[in-house]
Structure formats: C-alpha cells, structure tokens
Amino acid sequence: MKVLVPVKRVIDYNIKARVKPDGSGVDLANVKMSMNPFGEIAVEEAVRLKEKGVVSEIVVVSIGPLQAQETIRTALAMGADRGILIQTEETVEPLSVAKLLRAVALEERPDIAILGKQAIDDDANQTGQMLAAMLDWPQATFASKLDIADGKAEVMREIDGGLQTISVELPAVITTDLRLNEPRYASLPNIMKAKRKPIDMKTPDDYGVALDIRLEQITVAEPPKREAGVIVDSVAALVDKLKNEAGVI
C-alpha cells in the first residue's frame, strides 16, 4: 500500500508572527520556518502504518519555494521514503494546492492520502475536502484515530458534539487532528539517511495547473491587546460586573 502525505512549510509554531508595517501581510524575513504541525502528525501516522506493515511506501509532497526541500527532508528523516517538491515562488491558494495534489495522486496512484486538516498560517481547512471531491474519493476529516484493514479505513473523528466513528473504502482522503498521535523527533542517523533519499523536482506547469488567484487579501492586522484584569472585593461585585459590564449572565 502506498500513502501520499502532503506537507507545508510555515512559520514555526513557537515563533510569534509579525505583521508588516503597511498591513500587507506577515513578515517572513529572517523567520524560522518548519513543517506545519498538522502535516507532522500526518507524516507520523503514515510512518506508524508502515511500521505495522500496513504501508509499504510513503511519498511526501510539498508545494512552495526551493527551501521547502528542508521540510521534505524532515519528513524523510521521520521515515518517509521519497519526496516530491513542486517548486514555485507564487502564492498558492487551497484550490490550486488541491489541483496539484490531484495531479500527483493520479500519477502516483496512492491507496490513501493523509494530510493535516489545516495549515497554521492561513487556517483554511479546505485542501483535504477539495482533494477528495476532485478525486471522487471518500473522505474522513479531523481524524483522532485511524485503523486500516480489509481495504477500509476506520476513522474516529472529532466533531462538535464529541466523537464519531466512520468507515470509508480505500482509496480515501484522511485529514489529521491534533490528538491522532505525538510526532517523533528524527534521530541523527535518520537525518543523515534522509540526505540520500530522492526528491523529485517539479513545477506546476509539469502538471498543467495554473496558479490562479481567486482570493483578495484586504489587510492583515495583529489581534487587539488583551486588557488587564481587575480584582473584585466580593462575589457580589463579581456577579455585578459579569451581569452589567460583561453581559455574560
């Protein structure tokens, strides 16, 4: 069984993002970049399936600048077998990402695609659903548990009302939630081995996909600063503030 795992290069989640002075976007100059945490979870799940003998090959694909090779190398060091970098310096929206991943899936013929439910930079939460629709594959989003057997994937999903377990026929698209697993740290020997694993260099033109821009970014602003709290003298004063000032009771 072959699994396709898309990953994205984003600002490291430990770094506080800075907005450009003109509000045109996020300042990426001299900022540490890393793999999207949800993508890390997807890679980890694919590696665990391989360790169980369910998966025989893990193909990681990333779309972005040349530096995204580092993101792919991280996935290879975690246990993936080979990578594909679709190199572009242009902005790539979720629909274009889904189109490119569809083209890769049609070429690679994976039995399952596992990807993060969303990227922490745009929080779009769209690519997995679009990819499933384009491939006409069943989808199981927000997975917190995944079991594969007899050509089916049983997925426990996190939903607003609690947990839902569904079964989907393979091939299928699975998107990962935070509680699916805890990604491993790559060991030094595996990091060295990852340098010798192949990465195929592609462009959007190789797949016949135009990176059309359909979304207009109006402005980017930092969230308002949180106001300092106040100390009240009694429970009655607290209730009064919650009722008359905050309006929550």
- State the greatest distance between any 2 C-alpha atoms of the chain, in Å, as a whole number: 69
Which domain does 138 fall in, by range? Answer: 2-246
pLDDT at 246 over 90: no
Q: Report the distance separating Cα 139 and Cα 129, nearest Å.
A: 7
Reported as type and span, the H/E element at residue 19 is strand 18-19
pLDDT digit string (tens) for 13-70? 888 888 888 888 888 888 899 999 999 999 999 999 999 999 999 999 999 999 999 9
Residue 140 sits in a domain of what CATH number? 3.40.50.620
- 53 exposure class (CB count in 10 Å sphere: 0-12, 13-18, 19+): exposed
Q: Report the distance separating Cα 221 and Cα 223, nearest Å.
A: 6
pLDDT above 90 coverage of the chain, percent? 76
Q: Model's pTM, two decimal places?
A: 0.87
Residue 220: predicted pLDDT: 87
Task: Tell me how many domains the chain contains.
Answer: 1
Residue 249: predicted pLDDT: 79
pLDDT digit string (tens) for 114-133? 999 999 998 999 999 999 99
Q: Report the distance separating Cα 238 and Cα 219, nearest Å.
A: 38
Cα atoms found within 13 Å of the Cα of residue 220, Cβ hemisphere only? 15
Tokens coding 12: 């490291």
Amino acid at position 105, single letter:
A
Q: Report the distance separating Cα 152 and Cα 197, nearest Å.
A: 30
The answer for residues whose C-beta is within 8 angstroms of residue 136's C-beta and 6 or more apart is none
